[in-house]
Amino acid sequence: MADKVGVVVHGPEVVDSGSAKRALALLERMGPVTAVLGGTMGRVAVIDAALEDRIDTSRREMPSRSVQRLEPLVEIVIILNYAKTIETGLVFGAMVAERAKPKKPLLLADFAGGFLTVLAGEAASLTEKIAEILDLELLDAPEFLPGTKSSGRITRRKIFGAIPGENISVNGTVVAKALEETVEITAIDGKITEIDGAEVKPHGLEKLSFVELKGAILRSGEIRRTESVPRTIRNRGRNAVLIDHDAEGAFEKVRGSKVAVTVGDDTTAIAGEILTRLETPLVGVVDGDLDHLCSRTATPKGSAVIEVLPGTDDVIGRKVREEIFGGEYRISMNGLSIEDLIERIKKIAGEDLKSVRRF
């Protein structure tokens, strides 16, 4: 009987490089393959590669959760990855295994480092077969380095493999710039109080009123290091949605929406990449404080970016939520045009308004 293989595709780089598509085709020689994706910009990469019918992008979840969801359905789970270095790839794999605690074999195939390793379980002959099929070197299982420690009200979490000078982001908000390869973030009662191994960005920390550090998305560097040719799929709706410093949730929030209002420079830039693929215009509120989490960005046709005075985008964003969205994050656009929305936001900005760019 053919082995049922579960695949977790992690990040956009393994898709952009073509490695995910090739790996899925090769693994199908072993038997049925079920593939799911974790991460936001990975979804953009899947659309660009026209793989949305092959890789399930319907859920926004951490790789460990994807492993847990696939495990009951398959005989073995393989994570497809494209890490910055072999070391960071091994650390990532060990952390996923520690969180997922799988009972069946779990493997990591890293195509940047050219290796395959066993993260959990016993499947020697099958592992050798997969390494041969994917043309990857078989490496020893990585040693687990505990990345998260909790004691009472205090939670500490480490980021391994950072490159000095890279941005450190928490749930898409830049909070520091790396000074060392290992960065440790400390939170007390959900409030970040200390970041070791990095230069803190106070304005970024101000945006994070509460963080569940253990489950937060922590990154060093850009959210998408590779390039692709943009491709679009249709999204039609009648609502306006507010995306306030949460570009990673843009896919879920924009469903059934005619337009998105985005607050924050990096949020607007990242959401623009996503919304371009969905042909959904945005109205961005920015203040020129761009951290370049994503160096290659696009802005959907029909969009407008409203620039306000430095340090005022967050305040204006809160006013937009209260005065236009009624304290919610979604409203009906019935009887309201995108131009009406732009004019109302300009009025809220008042004397803080600097300029409006049209796309």
Rg of the chain over Cα atoms, rounded to whole angstroms, equals 21
Spatial separation of the C-alpha atoms in residues 144 and 95, rounded to whole Å: 7
- Residue 346: CB atoms within 10 Å: 15
Please compute the mean of the pLDDT values over residues 87-109 and round it to a whole number: 92
Nearest 5 degrees, angle CA 272-CA 276-CA 257?
90
Query: Which of the residue ranges 30-44, 50-64, 297-311, 326-340 would you say has the lowest mean pLDDT?
Result: 30-44
Helix 338-349 to helix 313-323 angle, to the nearest 10 degrees? 120
| Res 153 pLDDT > 50 | yes
Query: Range(s) for CATH 3.40.50.11220 in the chain?
Result: 5-139
For residue 142, give the DSSP letter: P
| Check whether domain 5-139 has CATH 3.40.50.11220, yes or no | yes
pTM of structure = 0.82
* pLDDT tens digit sequence for 21-38: 999 999 998 889 999 997
| Res 325 pLDDT > 60 | yes
Residue 118 confidence class, pLDDT cut points 50, 70, 90: very high
The predicted pLDDT at position 33 comes to 96
Mean pLDDT of the chain: 89
Residue 76: C-alpha distances to residues 72, 92, 121, 125 (Å): 10, 19, 9, 13
- Residue 214: CB atoms within 10 Å: 14
For the chain, give percent helix, strand, coil, nearest 5: 30, 30, 40
| Residues paired with 109 in a beta bridge | 80, 116
Of the CA atoms within 13 Å of residue 112, those in its CB half-sphere come to 20
